[in-house]
Amino acid sequence: MSRKKMGHTFASKLLLLLPTSLACFSVFPLSLIEKKVSSMNLSSIKQLASTKPHFIFTINFSITNSFPYFSSVKMDEFVNLEATELRLGLPGTDNVCEGRERVSCSKRALQGAAENETESSTMKTETSPPRKAQIVGWPPVRSFRKNIVQTKKNESESEGGRGLYVKVSMDGAPYLRKIDLSCYKGYSELLKALEMMFNFSAGEYFEREGYNGSEFVPTYEDKDGDWMLIGDVPWEMFVCTCKRLRIMKGSEAKGFGCDV
Amino acid sequence: MSEDEEDQSPPPSDLRSQQQQQRPPCSPNKSRNCISSSSQTFPDHVLENVLENVLQFLESRTDRNAASLVCKLWWKVEGLTRSEVFIGNCYALSPTRLTQRFKRVRSLLLKGKPRFADFNLMPPDWGANFAPWVSTMAKAYPWLEKVDLKRIFVSDDDLALLAHSFPGFKELILVCCEGFGTSGIAVVANKCRKLKVLDLIESEVTDDEVDWISCFPEDVTCLESLAFDCVEAPINFKALEALVIRSPFLRKLRLNRFVSLEEVHRLLLGAPQLTSLGTGSFKHDNQSEQEQEPDYAAAFRACKSVVCLSGFRELMPEYLPAILPVCANLTSLNFSYANISPDMFKPIIHTCHKLQVFWALDSICDEGLQAVAATCKELRELRIFPFDPREDSEGPVSELGLQAISEGCRKLESVLYFCQRMTNAALIAMSHNCPELTVFRLCIMGRHRPDHVTGKAMDEGFGAIVKNCKKLTRLAVSGLLTDQAFRYMGEYGKLIRTLSVAFAGDSDMALRHVLEGCPRLQKLEIRDSPFGDVALRSGMHRYYNMRFVWMSACSLSMGCCKDVARAMPNLVVEVIGSDDDDENREFVETLYMYRSLDGPRKDAPQFVTIL
């Protein structure tokens, strides 16, 4: 679990939330100075940023004028700020376990395909906007083509979401949520997202003892059907083997060796 | 058993001329003497010679299949004279049968896995190995010149055996293949001294860290076509440049994304005779030491013969105008790896008046398609791929783009279109405007989506397509479809050979309509549709005349599949399961069945059950 990454997310969150007076935009490369930037929407800035990765971009902006976008964003989606984050890294470094997940997860998805048919109908009863489960092999685009366009997507939009959707349930909560595991880079991001989504605190994770300091315990079901504690296995393995998440509460949680 | 017709490019003309040179014509005097001397039937060997000299000119596969059915003698002679063999399903016969029937094969086109395997609908290691074919042919066809494989597992050893066994080997084309790496390619490059064509298309090539470009022989090569855009490994550019310079016959060059725009620029300056170019990455490297940017447009201007452009990986749109000098001559343009906005796109397309084949991402939007419709009056083939291939993506193209295309490009023959919104009206319009359509593949990415204006199913739209496009041979449907759509297909789709169905239909009747109504149906692939045993049984009179049937996530029971397998002994019925083989599973996960002359295959993996 990388604290640095968490800090990065948090810092960018701060940056966006701090109101500043000016909307100004400075760019260093000479070849761009002649260009007129007519619209200052974030995605075009980001596209420029990603194509000239070794230049420094600074942006100050005010929330109220430039970003009506934010008013419609729900609180829980603030956690996953990748769509609005500016990166200084080289493009194409975002592929976590793309190749691996396709091979090892295709089986899980194959089983899930039949499930998903019934799921999409039950999802209509959920209050949150239902995002459909990604069916394996649909739409019928060859992985070769997907890969190529994917690297470009990572460059231009830096969006997560390669469709590793898992259900999340919490004991006592009225409805299920679905999250995309590929949006997160590690356990800290995932836990933060879960905490914000369900408004709880998981406490601190210790390798031997599990989660300390909370009556809630985040667990997941792996493809063998066993319920495991989130954080026990390396992140990549978790992403590939996790079938669904469940935030257990109270007495059940004791079985996972947590101190309440 | 006759092999199937396929959309095939005509065989290379040099093959025919070679045949003419190598086979001395049978002297006519001999046969004339025979005629005058006897009133009985000709001795067989004479007839054979005559037939040979006639049949060698037959090129079309269907003509040859017909000729071979006349009588035993014709069958035998046709087998002696066929130099190009097409095998649509590598498991339909064994390699031994191939070498026993056809004695003088120069060219083999072999297809392996079914198409749905491309979309992860089948576990890996299913089969379709090249190994038994190459080892058998190595002994039987020492003069083999061309091998064209699609969806076949080819190992490096196979490539090495190929390179060593066929001294006159000229063309290697690998489409959607896997199992080999740059080391295998290196052997081919090095050993096949007469190599003219090395095309690696959409294949998975492992990076063995071998500098295969340097393995080509040092002297002037015969290379006419080199395509390696799918090779995800860096290239020794100096070696490539040297190779291009010593390949005076090189016409087609497709680079991978590790070749920069500046390097392409240098290559173009040294190879102005190119007719087909696939650029590498289309972005300018700002870290280069040159003070001035190279004049990319000048390099393109020098290539007067370029008629086909592709590549544009990692595109920097501001450099796109560099291709403008060649646009007026382009007949084929592939932007399908480039995220181009309509504003960037329109100035380019407005100069492409001769364009016949156009592939792009949907990022050009309906606006871009309207520009295509306005300019490209000669368009024959259009493919629009999704930039964001997810079910709930935005979908920047819609029925507006398709309608515009149908109105502007009346000569359209082939369409592949990914979108999120479509209307019956647009399809009906297309069916009237484009009577030359032979291939129509529409993928509405959101499943079960109806006409987004009327809310009705897409039945009428697809119905109009099958009814009015009288030349239609290939159809892929999507969106909300009831049995009515299939009734139309059965009634009007008399020439349909390939049909792809996904998430469509209401009942068994739908599949029955198709199986009973489409006499030319060869390839049927269905997924996630409610077709069951009754439908499967209704097609039993057809399965021997088809290349394959694929049905996955339908409602077929194991019992019915077993019945079909029992009733049709020359049909190989494969049931492909997934990992959690639930014994109590009600329905068969995947059914893949095909006719075979040599019985079920011996190399089936564990997850395949052959009934």
Tell whether B173 and B149 lie within a shared domain. Answer: yes
Distances (CA, A) of B299 to A164, B190, B283, B321, B410: 45, 30, 15, 12, 34
Q: Is residue B269 part of a domain?
A: no
* pLDDT of residue A59 exceeding 80: no
Contacts of A119 in chain B (CB under 8 A): none
Q: Is residue B136 part of a domain?
A: yes
Tell whether B121 and B187 lie within a shared domain. Answer: yes
Strands (E), A73-185: 165-170, 177-180
Nearest to A131 among B316, B392, B528 (CB): B392
Nearest to A132 among B202, B339, B391 (CB): B391
Range with the largest mean pLDDT of A99-108, A151-160, B9-18, B66-75? B66-75
> How far is it, in rounded angstroms, from Cα B53 to Cα B474?
36
Tell whether B69 and B105 lie within a shared domain. Answer: no
CA-based nearest residue to B187, from B220, B157, B152: B157
The whole-angstrom distance between A181's CA and the closest CA on chain B is 16
Which pLDDT score, from 0 to 100, does residue B331 have? 96
- Tokens coding A23: 């909307």
Which pLDDT score, from 0 to 100, does residue A194 have? 83
Q: What is the mean pLDDT of residues A134-139?
A: 82
Residue B75 sits in a domain whose CATH number is 1.20.1280.50
CA A118, B124, A166: angle at the middle one, nearest 5?
35
Q: Which of B250, B265, B297 corresponds to the end of one domain?
A: B250
Average pLDDT value over all residues in chain B: 88
Q: Is residue B374 part of a domain?
A: no
> How far is it, in rounded angstroms, from Cα B351 to Cα B348?
6
Residues A158-192 pLDDT 10s:
434 445 778 788 887 766 677 778 778 888 888 88
Which pLDDT score, from 0 to 100, does residue B282 have? 84
Tell whether B73 and B103 lie within a shared domain. Answer: no
Q: Which domains does chain A have, with CATH numbers?
A: 165-254 (3.10.20.90)
> How far is it, in rounded angstroms, from Cα B133 to Cα B112?
12
Q: Is residue B52 part of a domain?
A: yes
Instruction: List, as ranges, residues 327-366 from B with C-beta within 8 Å of A.
Output: 336-337, 339, 361
A140 and B CB contact within 8 Å:
yes
Do the chains contact at B337 and A148, CB–CB below 8 Å? yes
Distances (CA, A) of A106 to A151, A179, B205, B426: 20, 18, 21, 36
A136 and B CB contact within 8 Å:
yes
Do the chains contact at A102 and B120, CB–CB below 8 Å? yes
Nearby residues of A219 by Cβ (< 8 Å), 6 or more positions away = A227, A228, A229, A230, A245, A246, A247, A248, A256
Q: Is residue B331 part of a domain?
A: no
Tell whether B72 and B87 lie within a shared domain. Answer: no
Tell whether B65 and B112 lie within a shared domain. Answer: no
Write the single-letter amino acid at B355. L
Do the chains contact at B118 and A163, CB–CB below 8 Å? no
Among A117, A119, A131, A141, the strongest candidate for a mutation testing the B interface, having the largest count of B CBs within 10 A, is A141
DSSP B41: P
CA-based nearest residue to B314, from B275, B293, B283: B283
pTM above 0.80, yes or no: no
Tell whether B48 and B145 lie within a shared domain. Answer: no
Report the residue count for chain B: 611
Q: Is residue B592 part of a domain?
A: yes
Do the chains contact at B120 and A107, CB–CB below 8 Å? no
Q: How confident is the model at residue B520 (pLDDT cuts 50, 70, 90)?
A: very high
Q: Is residue B609 part of a domain?
A: yes
* pLDDT of residue A67 exceeding 60: no
Range of the domain at B220: 83-250
CA atoms within 13 A on the CB side of A32: 15
| Cis check: omega of the bond before B450, within 30 degrees of 0 | no
> How far is it, in rounded angstroms, from Cα A166 to Cα B200?
37
Which pLDDT score, from 0 to 100, does residue B166 have? 96
Residue B219 sits in a domain whose CATH number is 3.80.10.10
> How far is it, in rounded angstroms, from Cα B426 to Cα B479?
14
CA-based nearest residue to B364, from B379, B380, B381, B347: B347
0.90 surpassed by complex ipTM: no
Q: What is the mean pLDDT of residues B262-285?
A: 87
Tell whether B231 and B158 lie within a shared domain. Answer: yes
- Tokens coding A227: 């319920």
Q: What is the mean pLDDT of residues B466-483?
A: 96
Find, in chain A, the residue whose alpha carbon is nearest to that of B590.
Answer: A110
Find, in chain A, the residue whose alpha carbon is nearest to that of B117.
Answer: A137
Tell me the H-state helices in B398-482.
399-408, 424-433, 459-468
> How far is it, in rounded angstroms, from Cα A203 to Cα A214?
5
Distances (CA, A) of B165 to B192, B217, B279, B512: 10, 18, 33, 48
- What is the number of structural domains in chain B? 3
**Helices H / strands E in chain B, number of each:** 22, 23
> How far is it, in rounded angstroms, from Cα B437 to Cα B412?
6
Find, in chain A, the residue whose alpha carbon is nearest to that of B120.
Answer: A137
> How far is it, in rounded angstroms, from Cα A41 to Cα B320?
23
Nearest to A139 among B116, B314, B445 (CB): B445
A100 and B CB contact within 8 Å:
no
Residues B123-163 pLDDT 10s:
888 999 999 999 999 999 999 999 999 999 999 999 999 99
A249 and B CB contact within 8 Å:
no
Tell whether B98 and B76 lie within a shared domain. Answer: no
Residues B13-31 pLDDT 10s:
333 333 444 444 444 444 4
Q: Which helix (H) or strand (E) holds B361?
A: strand B357-361
A163 and B CB contact within 8 Å:
yes
Q: Is residue B306 part of a domain?
A: no
Tell whether B116 and B226 lie within a shared domain. Answer: yes
Using the Cα atoms of residue B529, residue B535, residue B536 and residue B538 in order, give the sign of their dihedral: negative
Phi, psi of B107 (to 5 degrees): -140, 135
Tell whether B100 and B199 lie within a shared domain. Answer: yes
Tell whether B77 and B108 lie within a shared domain. Answer: no
